[in-house]
Amino acid sequence: MNKVEGSFEVNLEPAQDEISAGRMLLDKTYSGSLSGTGKGQMLSMRSEVQGSAAYVAIEHFEGELEGKKGSFSLYHRGLMDKGASSLEVGIIPDSGQGELKGIKGQMDIIIEQGKHFYVFEYTFEQ
């Protein structure tokens, strides 16, 4: 499996909805070996217990991965249980287009001092 690392910027905008969950629009700019844009939507919910919450998101990436142009979609699943957090971000099966057709993989997101970084492990179907 191949692996690339880099950074991205993200802007979140509150969206109007009738449920008590927070809904945000994602607008990301990726740089590094994975470069391009990511657009999507995120839903989040906090519990009454401090440090317990969850979020899910769908994101569509368009750009380049190590010189290959195309697009794919990602799912996000984040959970906080009394401060202990876990995050899963992966490529939606069969969502790769262009030169990224057949891509599979997972992304780790690291936040340090308010900046977002990614570690992206991927492979292509044979």
Return the CATH number at 63.
Answer: 2.40.350.10
- pLDDT by residue (tens digit) across 61-111? 999 999 999 999 999 999 999 999 999 999 999 999 999 999 999 999 998
Non-local (6+) Cβ contacts of 37 within 8 A are 27, 28, 29, 30, 61, 62, 63
User: Total domain count for the chain?
Assistant: 1
- pLDDT by residue (tens digit) across 16-47? 656 667 889 999 999 999 999 999 999 999 88
Specify the pTM. 0.83
What pLDDT does 16 receive?
Answer: 66
**91: Cα within 13 Å, side-chain hemisphere:** 22
What pLDDT does 24 receive?
Answer: 93
Task: Indicate the pLDDT class of residue 126, thresholds 50, 70 and 90.
Answer: confident
What pLDDT does 99 receive?
Answer: 98
What pLDDT does 79 receive?
Answer: 96
Vertex 95 angle, CA 93 and 96, to 5°: 115
Which residue segment(s) compose the domain that 116 sits in?
2-124
